[in-house]
Homo-oligomer: A and B are copies of this chain.
Amino acid sequence: MTARTAATQDDLRRHNRARLLRRLHEGGAASRSDLVAFSGLNRSTVGVLVSELADAGLVTEVAGAAGQVGRPSLLVQPDAESAVVVALDLKVERTVVALVGLGGTVLWRKEQSHKRTSYTPQAAIRNVTTLTAHALRHAPPHAVWVGVGVSVPGTVDHVDGRVRLAPNLGWADVPLGGLVREAMNGKFGYAPAIEVGNDADLGAVAEHVRGVGASNRNLIYLSGEVGVGGGVIIEGRAMTGAGGFGGEVGHMVVNPQGVTCRCGARGCWETEIGRDAIIRAAALGDDSVEVEDVVAAAAAGNRKAQAAIDEVGEWLGVGLANLVNLFNPEVIVLGGHLRLIFPLVSGTVYRRIHYALPASREQVRVEVPALNGDSTLIGAAESAFEGLLTDPIDVVSHAHHAVAS
């Protein structure tokens, strides 16, 4: 909820209640004094709002560590067993599913491989439905089910959850949000909030809320799966652009003399730092070669593998310098295969970033994800909690119990 809509007393109360729950969800347990300091509200207002959240079952008050005067203070904590979401990360060759409780607790997690070629939208929906049923079997007895978050490696319309293009899945114009909703209603007779998002956008959210960018307001996350995607957080908010399609860093042209990209342009960044480019350049001569193998070969002294990785380092640096100049971020997080490559080429990358304008260059650091390979999965969970964190009481009162579903 933005300030523009916080116009009336009711709005204000709902807004403040939501702010407190978001603080607890993102930052963990806090004393009432912490919440007073955080919110700028007075103590009695905080007390009323906390009671409302407790009555809704979302938070509990527990004895914290003893303070300096010896009396243990009460801590308000989000109850991970009160509200849950199902997060699904649809990758090119596997699906990851998790059941996540309020406060970000991963209650259950599972991976399942699939063949890229047979992973049609229909197959994916069947998969999503089955895995969601699995996940809900692990839900705590009293938990309400408030959302489903789905991560997709493609461009997604953030309004209706339609996948415009997921080239590496071979999907175009798939109304995934609607299909998931239908499937949930069909299977469970109920559908909570369904959020479909671009993988890199969700990775950015996760690393901003719970990862290496937790204390930063401006962050870029790069997903390196088959293509290279980007998610951008500006002043603490996800940049969507006009239709939710922004952040397509992989198709930034950096080398007009380079090779033709599957998008039709020449010299896209993705053609220089994408998985295929690395594997092709390393020429290890086997169809099943992965970036991990190239990294291992380079470590073992293979010259071609080393040269391939060095070349990626140069181009990685060129593109990152562009992003530094364009966005002036505090942190750039290298996800996917880039997190394997970066430690080997960090010197080259920083040398290239040095070409960015000093004011911006001095403020940026480059990191690998704190959430390792699960940034996009956790981001999907965060997106699924968004409704609850905007209007907790309303969402809880309309949600079904997870185990009944």
Contact = CB atoms under 8 A, between A and B. Distances in A.
Given A252-B322, A256-B254, A325-B252, A357 B245 contact: yes
Contact of A12 (B2, B12, B355): B12
Interface stretch (A51-59, A87-95, A341-349, A359-367): A359-367
Interface string A30-65: 000000000111100000000000000000000000
Given A8-B40, A239-B234, A241-B360, A263 B328 contact: no
Contacts of A234: 234, 239, 241
A165 to B, nearest CB: 7
Contacts of A217: 242
B246 A326 contact: yes
Contacts of A218: 241-242
B40 A5 contact: yes
A243 B355 contact: no
Interface in A265-289: 265
Given A39-B7, A40-B8, A264 B328 contact: no
Nearest to A164: B359
Interface in A221-257: 230, 234-235, 237, 239-249, 251-257
Number of copies of chain A assembled together: 2
Given A165-B357, A265-B355, 16 more contacts: A3-B3, A6-B12, A7-B41, A11-B40, A12-B12, A234-B234, A241-B327, A242-B328, A242-B330, A243-B328, A243-B360, A248-B325, A248-B326, A248-B357, A254-B254, A264-B355
B328 A241 contact: yes
18 contacts: A7-B16, A8-B41, A9-B12, A217-B242, A218-B241, A242-B329, A243-B328, A243-B360, A245-B359, A246-B328, A246-B360, A247-B328, A248-B325, A248-B328, A248-B357, A253-B318, A253-B322, A326-B326
